[in-house]
Chain A
């Protein structure tokens, strides 16, 4: 024992050992990583590619719209005419408007989504998706550690309580960031179009935003996991809130188009801010002031939720 007493005084002693344990376990089961990444990839395919919202407005879809003949008072066409009507045949009109129609699609997309292809819009949302799922389920490992007695064993060693909690948070964060990287890479391969303001440094901003959300969410779900006696409880809670939280955000659709009551939820939902941040840094033209707002919100979210989560966990572990 003698030599161990000297180097075990750090507040976060044991943090890396515990994080490393989980990462090791994780890396030994590549199937888990595969499954975790597969889900958002399927969604990217089904929603992003199959639901071709941009294509809906393409000129070919206007092809058989019947444009009637239009009869106008003669003076509106040639002012000298004071009486009589001018009739323009529908087929002439449809020929004239054809180029206009083909511009409607991209314009509508641009106005609603900010990008001309829906895939770019939603595949960025999938990064939020994987971040949310990874952090929410990260609490599960705590439920297992408690059930199997590992937590008690660790508690009987001089590992700091803060180290135990932070190792879980750190583990969730590292996992989520790694998986987000894979999703982003796949999205680029599948045809994500980055905006003109994109540069490599923006990636750092993306990671910063992911980091903030991960820390906030995983702290809270960790506290929850410490208190729920069964992993089913944790599962039920996660399943109950993850989809609503995702749909009541800008992951799939812009908030401004939603009914008021959903807008209320979406505007406090951290997932909206995360998605918006990543979008601005990748596919949308960057708007400095709204990016600042996003980061401020995420920063406050991370601070408040991690303080709540870590305090609750701490109290549980030292009771």
Chain B
């Protein structure tokens, strides 16, 4: 199961000779995993995905999808991938079913096969009741599901999702996550997704890449990334006035202990395993733990650690983002 489905080596895209959107990126995606590209807007996520789905040609470096070179064998790549774009691309004036059938025509799927598949897919995304309604009448969540159905019409081995939950409300977002999990579980599909929601990457991805300014900052599973920060934070207080720092320090996996009055801030690997041992050690020596909390680092802290700024801060500089986006747009067209 460790076959490499996507492999990128030194993948680079430069727009207009000076705007480097993706800068010598290396990564590989294994068969059957959900692989996430995490980063703020304008970090190069969409440019990377566009190169992998053969819309853009790389300036430098190469990449392959299921062994097909994205630049030289682009049509082979197109046949085996499915794409769920960031935008709602379904035609407003056509019905849901017509849209799915249009997608099937683009892959050259014979009509009788296409009809059957379209009905199955519409059932999968729970749009059967709305298949004959114009897309105009669909809600955001329904449109997103319709895009998903379109992206699956050619039975792809790899599905690319660009910001699959952008602009969706929390409820719809969670529902979309369920569909994505279902795809992975039932079809063993490999999924490549971009997102700028940390929760999303954490909830869905087997492995995450953090990308910033076109460069990969770090790769790993969300758990690994969080652990790489040096572990969880345990905060505890004891009844007694004695300094128990030394005692705590001796417990396995404890890395750092800070004392503030009777409160100890402990950094430890695998906090949920280490904590009982700390309590045990304290109780054996006759100390009483009065308060305890265990905090696991979130991807936000990971992000902060590796990029030097919080993802939310990066999100906030909307003006910068807009200016950047405008430049990208001009550069591309």
Q: Are B94 and A21 in contact (CB under 8 A)?
A: yes
Residues in B whose Cβ lies below 8 Å from that of A149: 85-89
- Answer yes or no: B291 CB below 8 A from chain A CBs: no
Tell me which of B56, B78, B160, B333 contacts A227 (CB under 8 A). B333
Closest CB in chain A relative to B104 CB, distance in Å: 9
Interface centre among B56, B87, B105 (most CB of A within 10 A): B105
Residues in B whose Cβ lies below 8 Å from that of A1: 79-80, 154-157
Q: Are B57 and A229 in contact (CB under 8 A)?
A: no
Residues in A whose Cβ lies below 8 Å from that of B55: 152, 155-156
Residues 278-300 of A at the B interface (beta carbon under 8 Å): none
Q: Are B83 and A156 in contact (CB under 8 A)?
A: yes
Give the docked Cα–Cα distance between A13 and B104 (Å).
12
Q: Are A157 and B87 in contact (CB under 8 A)?
A: no
Give the docked Cα–Cα distance between A24 and B330 (Å).
32
Closest CB in chain A relative to B101 CB, distance in Å: 9
A24-B98 contact given A150-B91, A159-B106, A229-B330, CB 8 Å threshold: yes
Q: Are A17 and B106 in contact (CB under 8 A)?
A: yes
Residues in A whose Cβ lies below 8 Å from that of B106: 14, 17-18, 154, 157-159
Residues in A whose Cβ lies below 8 Å from that of B155: 1
Give the docked Cα–Cα distance between A118 and B87 (Å).
52
A150-B89 contact given A1-B156, A24-B98, A155-B54, CB 8 Å threshold: yes
Using an 8 Å CB-CB cutoff, how does the interface string of B280-308 with A read, 1 for contact, 0 for none?
A: 00000000000000000000000000000
- Answer yes or no: B170 CB below 8 A from chain A CBs: no
Q: Are A156 and B87 in contact (CB under 8 A)?
A: no
Closest CB in chain A relative to B191 CB, distance in Å: 15
Residues 1-28 of A at the B interface (beta carbon under 8 Å): 1, 3-5, 7-8, 13-14, 16-18, 20-21, 24-25, 28
Number of interface residues of A (CB under 8 A): 33
Residue of B nearest to A317 (CB): B55
A156-B78 contact given A3-B113, A149-B87, A229-B329, CB 8 Å threshold: yes
Give the docked Cα–Cα distance between A71 and B46 (Å).
94
Tell me which of B57, B86, B102 contacts A319 (CB under 8 A). B57
Residues 21-80 of A at the B interface (beta carbon under 8 Å): 21, 24-25, 28-29
Residues in A whose Cβ lies below 8 Å from that of B102: 17, 21
Residues in B whose Cβ lies below 8 Å from that of A158: 75, 78-79, 106-108
Using an 8 Å CB-CB cutoff, how does the interface string of B126-169 with A read, 1 for contact, 0 for none?
A: 00000000000000000000000010001111001000000000
Q: Are B89 and A25 in contact (CB under 8 A)?
A: no
Q: Dominant SS at the B interface?
A: loop
Residues 69-99 of B at the A interface (beta carbon under 8 Å): 75, 78-81, 83, 85-89, 91, 93-94, 98
Closest CB in chain B relative to A144 CB, distance in Å: 10
Residues in A whose Cβ lies below 8 Å from that of B88: 148-149
Q: Are B107 and A156 in contact (CB under 8 A)?
A: no
Q: Are A8 and B98 in contact (CB under 8 A)?
A: no
Residues 119-152 of A at the B interface (beta carbon under 8 Å): 146, 148-150, 152
A157-B157 contact given A8-B107, A150-B91, CB 8 Å threshold: no
Give the docked Cα–Cα distance between A319 and B154 (Å).
25
Residue of A nearest to B147 (CB): A153
A153-B85 contact given A1-B154, A21-B94, A229-B330, CB 8 Å threshold: yes
Q: Are B50 and A25 in contact (CB under 8 A)?
A: no
Give the docked Cα–Cα distance between A159 and B108 (Å).
8
Give the docked Cα–Cα distance between A148 and B85 (Å).
10
Residues 155-176 of A at the B interface (beta carbon under 8 Å): 155-159
Give the docked Cα–Cα distance between A229 and B89 (Å).
18
Residues in A whose Cβ lies below 8 Å from that of B330: 229
A25-B91 contact given A1-B154, A156-B55, A229-B333, CB 8 Å threshold: yes
Seed contacts A153-B150, A157-B106, A158-B106; 15 additional CB < 8 Å A-B pairs? A1-B155, A1-B156, A3-B113, A5-B79, A7-B110, A20-B105, A148-B88, A150-B89, A153-B89, A154-B106, A156-B78, A157-B103, A157-B154, A158-B107, A229-B333
Q: What are 28 sample pairs from A and B whose C-beta atoms fall under 8 A apart?
A: A1-B156, A3-B113, A4-B107, A4-B109, A8-B75, A8-B108, A13-B108, A14-B105, A17-B106, A21-B94, A21-B102, A24-B94, A24-B98, A25-B91, A28-B94, A146-B333, A149-B85, A149-B86, A149-B88, A150-B89, A152-B50, A154-B106, A156-B83, A157-B103, A157-B107, A157-B154, A158-B79, A158-B107
Q: Which residues of B are in contact with A by a Cβ distance under 8 Å? A: 50, 53-57, 75, 78-81, 83, 85-89, 91, 93-94, 98, 102-103, 105-110, 113, 150, 154-157, 160, 329-330, 333
Q: Which 3 A-B pairs rank lowest in CB-CB distance, beginning with the nearest?
A: A149-B87, A17-B105, A8-B108
